[in-house]
């Protein structure tokens, strides 16, 4: 279980109150045993001075864990010393001189996974917890880390394995002895799993959105109030607002949390025939931003300036995209505002009217449903679930027709293996490498 000794600084670079160094693997305990005169008390915090030839390198709290009762499942040390990069590097150099090597990103979590302390979805939840950008995201990641998502997936996978075994029992009979009641009972079971996978896909999709957050871009003609709305949502006077059309040139972004969902909002240059080179470059950037897979918030101005045919034409160019139409400056409204076939919100950026509705609409239009979020997930998980769902669809067709039982068993196996990829039961080594290399060092 114990592998070669690895060490890493576990805190972000820079000066802080405490700096944490981790060591895991063969010899971790022996290495610190030399530094402390007292016998190690596993899992207890001990005040120690790490010394090299009588010279104190740092004094701090040492916690030792005897494998397999540790995060990695190996002998593990956590030393909480002074949060100074110079001191920490000195300690690391000392450990390197004494048999340790620097850990790769995510290597501690990878070892925890390889030693069956956590499954792959739980390991991914650790990384997602560390990078979560909202309270809701952190709460969801903690649930995945606890195993809420994995337990669901494992339960569904187990039920498919059982269904497959039951199909295989029938395969042993000659055709006339096949138990039709048993087959329809298997079919009902698989139907149930298939329904539950659909629900889990919905929840996983939400978990994935919460994990990545969404991007939203404000666009429209100059002077429609994009920067005014951007500032109001960012709750800061970030963008310059003037009555001169073409004020914004460079795109600005602000990170918001709306309904728990992290949202990166961009303000862009107003789109028109550019009057100078700076504006032209700004407009080019703005057009590029609209092409990206963002929620597009198109601003137009109320009052008699509102040309409904023109707005419809612009909405047409955004067909198939996630769009919110803002009709701003409603205080200047003179005529009735026509209906448009997209989410439409009337606002007054000066008073803030309608902006709450915009803040609620952004996550919804992006496809996020806070009520469906029970755990954190990734696009990879959604892919695996969808694949399982497809195999089940085929196997249900085959079950209905009581077709080739071998094929049915095979499809049920593929479906459960697709689910197994989520928790790492069936996961290629190169994918594992890719997943763990995206972690931070020391985790």
Contacting positions for ligand GTP (CB under 6 A): 222-228, 241-243, 245-248, 269-270, 328-329, 331-332, 348-350
Tell which residue, 221, 392, 366, has the closest CA to residue 295: 366
How far is the C-alpha of 108 from the C-alpha of 103, rounded, in Å? 8
Chosen from ligand GTP, Mg ion, none, partner binding at 349 (C-beta under 5 to 8 Å by type): ligand GTP
Name the residue with tokens 């195999």.
391
Chosen from Mg ion, ligand GTP, none, partner binding at 98 (C-beta under 5 to 8 Å by type): none
> C-beta of 225: minimal distance to Mg ion in Å?
8
> C-beta of 17: minimal distance to Mg ion in Å?
42
Chosen from Mg ion, ligand GTP, none, partner binding at 164 (C-beta under 5 to 8 Å by type): none
Residue among 123 and 229 whose Cβ is closer to ligand GTP? 229
Chosen from ligand GTP, Mg ion, none, partner binding at 80 (C-beta under 5 to 8 Å by type): none
The DSSP annotation for 3-19 comes to: -S-EEEE-SPSS-EEEE
> C-beta of 344: minimal distance to ligand GTP in Å?
15
Residue among 269 and 435 whose Cβ is closer to ligand GTP? 269
How far is the C-alpha of 206 from the C-alpha of 310, rounded, in Å? 35
Q: Nearest residue by C-beta to ligand GTP?
A: 270
> C-beta of 237: minimal distance to ligand GTP in Å?
11
> C-beta of 262: minimal distance to ligand GTP in Å?
23
Residue among 19 and 225 whose Cβ is closer to ligand GTP? 225
How far is the C-alpha of 233 from the C-alpha of 324, rounded, in Å? 15
Chosen from Mg ion, ligand GTP, none, partner binding at 222 (C-beta under 5 to 8 Å by type): ligand GTP
Tokens at residue 256, please? 């918001």
Beta bridge partners of 101: 6
> C-beta of 239: minimal distance to ligand GTP in Å?
7
Q: In terms of residues, how long is the chain? A: 443
Chosen from ligand GTP, Mg ion, none, partner binding at 132 (C-beta under 5 to 8 Å by type): none
Whether residue 100 contacts residue 7, with contact meaning beta carbons closer than 8 Å, is answered with yes
Helix, strand, coil share of the chain (percent; to 5)? 50, 20, 35
Residue among 226 and 322 whose Cβ is closer to Mg ion? 226
How far is the C-alpha of 56 from the C-alpha of 428, rounded, in Å? 45
Cis peptide before 68 (omega within 30 of 0): yes
Name the residue with tokens 């795109």.
251
Residue among 186 and 300 whose Cβ is closer to Mg ion? 300
* Site map (CB under 5 A) of Mg ion, residues 225-254, x = contact: -xx-------------------xx------
Residue among 228 and 373 whose Cβ is closer to ligand GTP? 228
Tokens at residue 84, please? 């100074």
> C-beta of 247: minimal distance to Mg ion in Å?
5
Residue among 226 and 314 whose Cβ is closer to Mg ion? 226
How far is the C-alpha of 440 from the C-alpha of 443, rounded, in Å? 6
Tell which residue, 99, 226, 173, 167, has the closest CA to residue 392: 167
Tell which residue, 127, 112, 121, 110, has the closest CA to residue 146: 121
Stretch that binds Mg ion, among 61-69, 110-118, 144-152, 218-226 (CB under 5 A): 218-226
How far is the C-alpha of 223 from the C-alpha of 52, rounded, in Å? 67
> C-beta of 14: minimal distance to ligand GTP in Å?
37
Residue among 294 and 328 whose Cβ is closer to ligand GTP? 328
| Bridging pattern class, strands 45-52 and 55-65 | antiparallel
Per CB under 5 A, residues contacting Mg ion are 226-227, 247-248
């Amino acid at each position: 279980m114990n592998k070669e000794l690895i060490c890493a600084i576990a805190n972000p670079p820079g000066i802080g109150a405490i700096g944490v160094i981790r060591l895991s693997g063969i010899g971790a305990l022996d290495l610190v045993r030399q530094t402390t005169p007292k016998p190690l008390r596993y899992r207890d915090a001990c005040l120690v001075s790490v010394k090299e030839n009588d010279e104190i390198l740092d004094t701090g709290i040492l916690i030792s864990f005897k494998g397999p009762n540790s995060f990695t499942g190996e002998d593990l040390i956590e030393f909480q010393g002074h949060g100074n990069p110079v001191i920490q590097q000195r300690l690391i150099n000392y450990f390197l001189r004494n048999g340790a090597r620097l850990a790769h990103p995510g290597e501690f979590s990878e070892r925890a996974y390889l030693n069956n302390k956590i499954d792959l979805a739980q390991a991914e939840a650790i990384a997602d917890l560390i990078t979560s950008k909202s309270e809701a995201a952190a709460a969801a990641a903690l649930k995945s880390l606890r195993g809420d998502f994995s337990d669901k997936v494992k339960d569904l996978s187990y039920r498919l394995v059982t269904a497959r075994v039951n199909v295989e029992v029938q395969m042993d009979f000659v055709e006339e002895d096949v138990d039709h009641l048993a087959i329809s009972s298997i079919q009902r079971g698989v139907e149930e799993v298939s329904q539950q996978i659909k629900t889990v896909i919905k929840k996983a999709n939400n978990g994935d959105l919460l994990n990545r957050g969404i991007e939203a871009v404000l666009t429209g003609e100059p002077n429609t109030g994009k920067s005014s709305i951007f500032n109001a949502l960012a709750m800061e006077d970030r963008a310059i607002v003037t009555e001169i059309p073409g004020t914004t040139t460079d795109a600005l972004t602000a990170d918001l949390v709306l309904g728990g969902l992290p949202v990166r909002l961009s303000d862009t240059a107003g789109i028109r025939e550019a009057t100078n080179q700076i504006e032209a470059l700004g407009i080019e950037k703005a057009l590029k931003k609209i092409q990206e897979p963002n929620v597009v918030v198109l601003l137009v101005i109320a009052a008699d300036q509102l040309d409904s045919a023109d707005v419809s034409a612009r909405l047409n160019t955004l067909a198939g995209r996630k769009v919110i139409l803002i009709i701003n400056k409603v205080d200047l409204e003179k005529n009735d505002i026509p209906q448009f076939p997209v989410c439409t919100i009337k606002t007054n950026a000066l008073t803030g009217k309608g902006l709450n509705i915009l803040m609620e609409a952004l996550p919804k239009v992006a496809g996020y449903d806070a009520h469906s979020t029970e755990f954190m997930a990734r696009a990879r998980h959604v892919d695996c679930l969808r694949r399982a769902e497809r195999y089940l669809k085929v196997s249900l067709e085959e079950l209905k027709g009581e077709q080739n039982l071998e094929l049915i068993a095979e499809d049920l196996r593929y479906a459960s293996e697709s689910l197994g990829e989520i928790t790492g039961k069936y996961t290629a080594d190169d994918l594992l490498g890719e997943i763990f290399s995206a972690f931070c060092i020391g985790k």
